[in-house]
A and B are shown apart, each in its own frame.
Chain A
């Protein structure tokens, strides 16, 4: 009886240690996601501007909580990713510490509403700049140019880009009803197009060899590549343009110009590249250049 109890204690201690070390590992990972941001303590802004307002009232930023490497909320309740880093850089230029930022989840469907209703001061959430959205809100940026890309098995040599798909008779998977699904129809026959409701099913089909490639925006694929333990790779040859902007209240050109200036400075200081390398750069080898900004409207 005594022996058995001792065994219990040992087993319990062992499993506890394992749980704790597992947690520790997670923390380290999370630490690497959040790099240091310069905070401009003595920033001065004209009265009545958005910058002056958030300086005194605090800032609320919308991002995604379910987009790995761009905006993903972990167990520690803090979102992480490239979008989050960009937001931290902009907030830092206004003298706001990263831990003073209030984060709000803004999935694709609600982004315009929360900006219009003033629930957030800005949205950095893999937010593609397009004309319909620009009618309701203003965009600063783009700060990153995403694009539709292809993900294949790491040892695949035959698929080199969208043009090689038809020739090799490759079966391609994406999500039904999405824009990438329409775009890829130019490159594959309908019989070779496989559609699921979520990307994880596509990833599974790629793993078991039911399809040869998965296509959608490169930022989504980066997240899938990260989770595949080296089984998949990204071609890194985007064939559409999805410029990601910072969503702000319609017509706030002052704030828009400030964001542009912040991003330009970040690129010069190297914090833009650092933000990438700490997040999406852990999977993608190519550090992007800061794209040409659009006009502030």
Chain B
């Protein structure tokens, strides 16, 4: 286990890069996912179609393929950027489809009477959604949303294969193949690194769930 201690700065840097990718991607995925979920339940057919297409595309494409299109497709049409952002946005697009579906299941769980009552007091669609339905929906979907985000943190290991350097998994690759360290202790360190991110995230979600959960 000496290898972990000796390369601690490298590991910490890997945790930092992974955490950064996940933070940006989580925020972006939440924004996009919420937008798409509201599209999917909107009364306008074109918006519903757009939301459904979004989910169909990104939920059914392997993440590797999404990232491949980001890293190699965008430069092909002249959009050059840093691989860090290609990777982060790709991860966010992919995750947003799952966030959208989790939210939609929450929206469906809100009794129809709530929306009808909101309409009855004169709220329009966006007000109904943002003031009455979504707040209740979000509180019911904290556990599935948590799963989506923990899966996203683990999925972030794939961005290393698309030019994003220095993330936690890439640290493992560098130590094993280039510096010739034994794989088992190195990857044990990588696992610990991911657990350092995911376990607190899980605990935090538990706390949030207890605070906001609604008994129905």
Contacts and interface: CB of A to CB of B under 8 A. Distances in A.
Nearest to A202: B163
Given A178-B178, A182-B178, A193 B75 contact: no
Interface of B: 71-72, 75-76, 80, 83, 160-163, 165-166, 170, 173-174, 176-179
Interface centre among A173, A177, A194, A204 (most CB of B within 10 A): A177
A208 interface: yes
Interface of A: 173, 176-179, 181-182, 190-191, 193-197, 201, 204-205, 208-210
A201 B72 contact: yes
Given A177-B173, A194-B163, A210-B71, 6 more contacts: A173-B163, A178-B177, A179-B178, A195-B160, A208-B75, A210-B80
Given A190-B165, A196-B161, A181 B174 contact: yes
A204 B72 contact: yes
Contacts of B80: 208-210
11 contacts: A176-B177, A177-B173, A177-B178, A178-B178, A181-B178, A194-B165, A195-B163, A195-B170, A205-B163, A208-B75, A208-B80
Given A176-B173, A177-B173, A205-B163, A194 B83 contact: yes
Contact of A205 (B75, B165, B174): B75
A182 B179 contact: yes
A189 to B, nearest CB: 11
Contact of A176 (B71, B76, B160): B160
Given A177-B176, A182-B178, A210-B80, A196 B162 contact: yes
B65 to A, nearest CB: 14
A196 B174 contact: no
B165 A197 contact: no
A176 B170 contact: yes
B165 A210 contact: no
Nearest to B79: A208
Contact of A177 (B75, B163, B166, B174): B174
A182 B179 CA distance: 8
Q: Which 8 A-B pairs have the closest CB atoms?
A: A177-B177, A208-B75, A177-B173, A194-B163, A182-B178, A177-B178, A210-B75, A176-B173
A182 B163 CA distance: 16
A174 B184 CA distance: 25
A190 B165 CA distance: 8
Contacts of B174: 176-177, 181-182
A193 B76 CA distance: 20
A67 to B, nearest CB: 19
Contacts of A182: 174, 178-179
A191 B179 CA distance: 20
Nearest to B173: A177
A194 B162 CA distance: 9
B74 to A, nearest CB: 9
Contacts of B165: 190-191, 193-195
Nearest to B76: A208
Contact of A197 (B75, B76, B161, B166): B161
Contacts of A210: 71, 75, 80, 83, 163
A210 B78 CA distance: 10
A210 B72 CA distance: 9
A81 to B, nearest CB: 25
Contacts of B75: 205, 208-210
B160 to A, nearest CB: 7
Given A176-B173, A208-B75, A209-B80, A190 B166 contact: yes
B102 to A, nearest CB: 32
A210 B163 CA distance: 10
Nearest to A183: B178
Nearest to B163: A194
A224 B165 CA distance: 23
B79 to A, nearest CB: 9
B21 to A, nearest CB: 15
A131 to B, nearest CB: 13
A201 B163 CA distance: 9
A194 B81 CA distance: 12
Contacts of B170: 176, 195
A176 B177 CA distance: 8
Q: Which has the most chain B C-beta neighbours within 10 Å: A190, A201, A208? A: A208
Interface centre among B71, B166, B174, B178 (most CB of A within 10 A): B178
A179 B163 CA distance: 17
B13 to A, nearest CB: 9
B207 to A, nearest CB: 36
Nearest to A191: B165
B22 to A, nearest CB: 19
